[in-house]
Amino acid sequence: MNFNPAIDTQNLSSVKPIMELRNVSRTFMVSQGVFRGKKPLKAVNEVSLKVHRGEVLGLVGESGCGKTTLAMMLLGLLTPGQGEILIEDQAVSGWNLLEITSRIQPIFQDPYSSLNPRKTVGQSISLPLAIHKTVQKKDRRQLVEKMLEAVGLPGRFYNSYPNQLSGGQRQRVAIARALVMKPQIVICDEPTSALDVSVQSQILNLLLKLKNQLNLTYLFISHNLAVVEHLASRVAVMYLGRVVEEGGCERLFSKPLHPYTQALLKSVLLPEPGQGISNVNLGAGFPNPIDPPTGCTFHPRCPQVMDICRTQSPGSLSIEDGYVECHLYRKENKNYLN
């Protein structure tokens, strides 16, 4: 089910994106051992993406493909090595962290480590208000209690400490803290995967409710494809630092184009690094990102590999609702789309 039918995923090309990545890359220098020096690891490799106002863009891919690195760059916590990030058409490269965080806020996987154990719930939620100085001190408590109510927590939790709360309650506090500054965009990086299954759907429903109430835009990173299918209006699939397919959620789930997307949809993604996709026969395991395969980096695992895939990178091919990076869909090949 497409959660957000108001967004016409076919005709987004004419709508201005609220956030855009243009050829964004980030490389880490990774140690090879004491005597072997360091080698570059391209965690995000020339990714271009548009996020439109009011949509939920799902971001999926195996562990280690670069999702969190991408999120950290959007949040201003990592600088891109190359490329540009724009918010409402303005490049964010000159912005300070305060400017970025007033528009974009994160909700991370583990609410326990993202909340300071020595601060009360009230102090944690009002901290952004104090830093940004947008609300006078005397009005902060009232606003924080309103936020607690919005996330379904009683006002008495104001003076509680994180260790006095359940995992689900802690994530509600983290959500309240993310939303208290009224951001436009929220980056949810596995927001429910550390929680008990029984509370996961409550938190997801809360995120949806708040999205509609506050007119938010979400980038939603998840291993759980069923959740992404339920929440997202569009989906981007990442493989070894690149987005290999992007498109409307309904189309992508019913007619995936990239052989990797096809494999993902038949699988259950595991959150553990290096585990890859356990229950799909993709041949070779997840490649070493320090030494990625030539040509299309998916080619050693691709069931439909052709000669060209071993030597040439496919580049991005526009399709009706997004793009795909696969030689199968080039003009000269059998699956050409147009």
Classify the C-alpha dihedral 257-263-265-271 as positive or negative: negative
Binder of ligand ATP out of 58, 66, 276, 314 (CB under 6 A): 66
- Taking CB under 6 A as the binding criterion, the range among 60-68, 131-139, 164-172, 307-315 that sits at the site for ligand ATP is 60-68
106 binds, among ligand ATP, Mg ion, none (CB under 5 to 8 A by kind): none
- Under 8 Å between Cβ of 319 and 309: no
Judged by CB under 6 A, the residue of 17, 64, 168, 322 near ligand ATP is 64
30 contacts ligand ATP (rule: CB under 6 A) = yes
- How far is Cα 142 from Cα 154, in angstroms, rounded to an integer? 13
Interacting partner of 43 out of Mg ion, ligand ATP, none (Cβ under 5 to 8 A depending on kind)? ligand ATP
For residue 264, the partner it binds in Mg ion, ligand ATP, none, with Cβ less than 5 to 8 A by kind, is none
DSSP 3-state percent helix, strand, coil across the chain (nearest 5): 35, 25, 40
- All residues at 6 or more sequence positions from 328 whose CB lies less than 8 Å from its CB, including other chains: 257, 259, 304, 306, 334, 335
Least distance in angstroms from the C-beta of 238 to ligand ATP: 7
In angstroms, what is the minimal distance from the CB of 108 to ligand ATP? 10
- Give the integer Cα–Cα distance in Å for 85 and 88: 10
Contact yes or no for 312/332 (Cβ under 8 A): no
Within 68-107, which residues bind ligand ATP (CB under 6 A)? 68-69
275 binds ligand ATP (CB under 6 A): no
Minimum CB distance to ligand ATP smaller for 108 or for 329:
108
For the purposes of burial, counting CB atoms within 10 Å of the CB of 33, is it exposed (0-12), middle (13-18) or buried (19 or more)? Answer: exposed
Residue 183, contacted partner among Mg ion, ligand ATP, none, CB below 5-8 A by kind:
none
* Among residues 40, 117, 154, 273, the one that binds ligand ATP under rule CB under 6 A: 273
String of contacts with ligand ATP for each residue 112-141, x by CB under 6 A: ------------------------------
Is 165 a binder of ligand ATP (CB under 6 A)?
no
Distance CA 155, CA 293 (A): 54
Binds 69, which of Mg ion, ligand ATP, none (CB < 5 to 8 A, cut-off by type)?
Answer: ligand ATP
193 belongs to the binding site for ligand ATP (CB under 6 A): no
- Residue 65 interacting entry, from Mg ion, ligand ATP, none, C-beta within 5 to 8 Å by type: ligand ATP
Among 289, 295, 314, 322, binds ligand ATP (CB under 6 A): 289
Q: Whole-angstrom Cα distance, residue 142 to residue 88?
A: 31
Q: Vertex 193, ends 187 and 198: CA angle to 5°?
A: 120
DSSP code, position 146:
H
268-282 CB burial, b ≥16 within 10 A, e <16: ebeeeeeebbeebeb
CB 238 within 8 A of CB 244: yes
Shortest distance (Å) from residue 71 CB to ligand ATP? 8
By CB under 6 A, name the binding residues for ligand ATP: 28, 30, 41, 43, 61, 63-69, 273, 289
